[in-house]
Amino acid sequence: MNKPVTERQVRTAQKLGFVDCDIHPMQRSPKDLYPYLEQRWREHIENFGGHLCQGLAAQLPFPRMLANGQRADAYPANGGPPGCDLELMQRQHLDLNGCATGMMICLSRGGMEERNLEFGAALAHAVNDWQIHDWVAKDRRLKAGIVVPQEYPEFAAREIDARAAENAAFRQVIVSPRSIEPLGRRKYWPIYEAAARNNLVLGLHPAGNPNGHPSSGTGWGTYYMQEHYTFGTSMIGNVVSLISEGVFERFPGLKVAMIESGFSWAPSLGWRMDKQWQRMRKETPHLKRPPSEYLRAHFWFCTQPMEEPENPADIHDILGWIGWDRLMFSSDYPHWDYDDPGFALNFKMTEAQHAAIMRDNATALYRLS
Amino acid sequence: MKMPFAGAIDCDLHPAVPDVAALMPYLDAFWREHLAERYIDKSPFTLASYAPQLPQSVRRDWRPQKGLPGADLEALRSQALDAFGTRLAVANVLHGAVALFNADMAAALCTAINKSLAREWLDREPRLRASIVVPPQDADLAVAEIERCAPDRRFVQVLLLVMGDRPLGHRTYWPIYRAAEKHGLAIGVHAGSTFRHAPTGSGWPSYHLEDSVLQATAFEDTLVSFLAEGVFQKFPGTKLVLMESGFTWLPTLLWRTNRSWRGVRTEVPWIDRPPADIVRDHVRFTLQPLDVPDADVLHRVMDHVRSDELILFSTDYPHWQFEGDDVLPEGLSDAMLRKILIDNPLATYPRLGAAATADQTRAAMREELPP
């Protein structure tokens, strides 16, 4: 039975202990990683720095809107960027909102878009150490994502195996969706094989560094408004690639979490793929089922930035199509477009549906307990 | 379902230029000699997105014995116009000239295409109207071609491909939109790529299937480009028609841009009202291909976009979008059908209402016809 979830009920519902599928910890400076880097790479950072394919050395080519894309109130009083201070994160988000589990997504300095492969590997390894020592060890609510440079699949597979064996706090594998080739291409399959072998989710989150390709097939946009929109459309490119290449026929246990990518596009994409596939299926004989079935079976989605239909009730159509078991709450703390767990889901639903989105779907996907 | 009544307006069908040899009579002496000298005077100049062997390029039972799909007027008449009782149809020539890097060669070919279109299609078939093919490589040359064609009232639109050098809302293209607005021409953006950029933000995919599916995301990014750049504020008379785009992705675009606008409006202060409202006022979508599994889903999507004025009937002939005579989806009300088949096209294309005969047009253009 549908009944409205009022503001007070939402607050109450947080007491069920929600899972936040998108939290961004950040290094105060690159030096936070030095304890986990060999001397060679510490010197490399200071003498050369990253080799990234973009025009600006120390900032993103599409400048973010407010406060460099951060919550202005999330800058720690003692300096450093938002997300670098665990105590502030606890006070502003984890404790305040009653977050039971937070999935950490480490975006920068993980070496994912680094063209120097050995440097990328060293950075990823360091960020994985840093997540455990500087975060998980200090707050058990936080879970880590194994950051790997997707362009170096041999290293990535070894790192995934090692981290999965080392600490159960690693619940997923994070690669950059701004890969050099679409993520379904075979060069990346050792990563999926390792993720599947270790029963880990593949987490995809939009990246700020374009890594040499415009974010759209139409070319480089002008405004951040355009770049922001491609957080959906450029991720669709990878979904289409993963499905079309037959990744899920080869690794039937692989599950993908689409983080900060939207979800209302998924039904339309499935219908379109099915229609095109029906007349082109001889090109991809490795696909045994209509593409929408792989989409339905292998992909999960996160809420933030929450889709807001002009008529709020229309969200029920979308959830009916993608499945109420496929949407997971995310806040994107400490970024500027943070969604508050108490107010983000502004539509009517049952308590069971609310619990599914806020907690149960993520608990099942990531095997949290 | 089948066409319920005669008189529909088909807003997207595709006559083909068989090869560059067919354009020779419409090229000047320099270009005739130049193309011959380079041995490209019999080249097809076919877009890779619509290579004739691809399944989407032609419905199986419409594939001609010889020649390019869409190159034969008699076949187009019987299969696309007579078959559906079509009253008027907008011809969009998809041609490789727009994918060249040499803008002068592109402009020469576009002019020849438009001349051949007027002479060999519009003069011979009074139900046909057409889009002006322009060289997007150079906005000044594109404007010159628009000015040349505009007196011919049978040209109702300017044609652009969705994936070219840069997102189409960019100021580079504004002279084109200024000229189109001045002459009461719609801007028609059609599926297809010049392959300047990979269709995904992570490079080039493996399969034609992916290229085909991802056309829809290029339309989304193109529409966001028109919104963000302020084209509809700069040229308020603009009607933008997205062709072969699909439209089931539109609810997502309306919702996401309405929301993101609240955060980014200082960056794009010319957006003076919710983007969804701007889209409903200025942007239209041709019917085919229709990416819906059933009538119920179609109804829900129509509800989500909150307007019955957005969809324009199209067959997309000879592209393969439907089977047999089932040119329309099931489950649309008579009122909705009338909007899609007649009212919406007439409201979108001001030039469609006026009856323009070939003779009147020739007089207006005072143009020397080719030998």
Residue pLDDT, tens place only, A286-340:
999 999 999 999 999 999 999 999 999 999 999 999 999 999 999 999 999 999 9
Smallest Cβ distance to A226: which of B56, B224, B254? B224
Instruction: Assess contact for A145 and A173: CB atoms under 8 A.
Output: yes
Confidence of residue B360 (pLDDT cuts 50, 70, 90): low
Q: For residues B231 and B272, what is the distance between their CA atoms, to the nearest angstrom? A: 12
- Which chain B residue has its CA at the smallest distance from A183's CA? B202
A284 min Cα distance to partner chain B (Å): 8
Question: What are the E-state strand segments in chain A?
Answer: 18-23, 99-104, 142-147, 170-175, 201-204, 256-258, 299-302, 327-328
Cβ–Cβ < 8 Å for B54, B192: no
Helix (H, G, I), strand (E, B) or coil at B281: helix
Q: What is the Cα gyration radius of chain A? A: 20
SS3 content of chain A, % helix, strand, coil (to 5): 45, 10, 45
Which residue of chain B is at minimal alpha-carbon distance from A178?
Answer: B202
- Give contacts of B 6-65 with A, CB under 8 A: 55-56
**A320-359 residues touching B, CB cutoff 8 A:** 336-337
Task: Select from B72, B99, B83 the least CA-distant residue to B16.
Answer: B72
CB atoms A280 and B55 under 8 Å? yes
Phi, psi of B139 (to 5 degrees): -60, -35
pLDDT for residue B42 is more than 50:
yes
Query: Rounded CA gap, B24 and B19, in Å?
Result: 10
pLDDT value at B329 more than 80: yes
A285: how many CB neighbours lie within 10 A of its CB? 8
CB contact (8 A) between residue B251 and residue A220: no
- CB hemisphere CA count around A70 (13 angstroms): 17
At A188, which amino acid appears? Y
Q: Which residues of A touch B301 (CB under 8 A)?
A: 268
Sign of CA dihedral B28, B31, B37, B40: negative
What percentage of chain A carries pLDDT values higher than 90?
Answer: 93
Task: Evaluate if residue B365 carries a pLDDT over 70.
Answer: no
User: Using the 8-state DSSP alphabet, how is residue A213 labeled?
Assistant: S
Reported confidence tier of residue A117, pLDDT bands at 50, 70, 90: very high
Q: What is the pLDDT of residues B303-318, one digit of tens each?
A: 999 999 999 999 999 9
Instruction: State the maximum Cα–Cα separation within chain A, in Å, rounded to a whole number.
Output: 63
- Whether the predicted pLDDT of A1 surpasses 50: no
- Look at residues A185, A109, A184 and name the one whose alpha carbon lies nearest to residue A149: A109
Residues with Cβ within 8 Å of B126's Cβ and at least 6 positions away in sequence, in order, are B357, B358
pLDDT at B369: 44
What is the side-by-side order of every strand in the sheet holding A18-23? Answer: A18-23, A99-104, A142-147, A170-175, A201-204, A256-258, A299-302, A327-328
Q: What is the pLDDT of residue A7?
A: 55
Segment A64-92 mean pLDDT: 96
Residue of B361, B309, B341, B339 whose CA lies nearest to B11: B341
A94 pLDDT higher than 50: yes
Largest CA distance in chain B: 60
Answer whether residue B371 shows pLDDT above 50.
Answer: no
pLDDT of residue B368: 46
Nearest by CB to A179, from B202, B214, B255: name it: B202
Beta bridge partners of A201: A172
- Cβ(B156)–Cβ(B185) under 8 Å? yes
pLDDT tens string B72-113: 999 999 999 999 999 999 999 999 999 999 999 999 999 999
- By CB atoms closer than 10 A (0-12, 13-18, 19+), residue A46 is exposed
Instruction: Give which of B223, B108, B98 is closest to B160, Cα–Cα.
Output: B98
Q: Which of residues 284-323 of B touch A (CB under 8 A)?
A: 289, 291-293, 297, 300-301, 303-304, 306, 320
How many pairs of residues across A and B have Cβ atoms under 8 Å apart? 248
Examine the pLDDT at A271 and tell me if it is beyond 80. yes
B13 bridge partner residues: B91
Nearest Cβ partner for B221 among A226, A235, A275: A226
Alpha-carbon gap, residue A244 to A238, rounded angstroms: 10
Using CA atoms, how far apart are residues A8 and A339, in angstroms rounded to an integer?
17
Give me the percent of chain B exceeding a pLDDT of 70: 95
pLDDT tens, residue by residue, A288-300? 999 999 999 999 9
Q: Which of residues 50-79 of A touch B (CB under 8 A)?
A: 65-66
Provide ipTM, 2 decimals. 0.95
Tens of pLDDT, residue by residue over A14-59, are 677 999 999 999 999 999 999 999 999 999 999 999 999 999 998 9
Per-residue pLDDT of B214-240, as tens digits, reads 999 999 999 999 999 999 999 999 999
Distance CA B336, CA B189 (A): 24
A222 touches chain B (CB under 8 A): yes
Strands (E), A293-351: 299-302, 327-328
Distance, in Å, from the CA atom of B257 to the CA atom of B169, rounded to the nearest integer, reads 15
- C-beta atoms of A283 and B209 within 8 A: yes
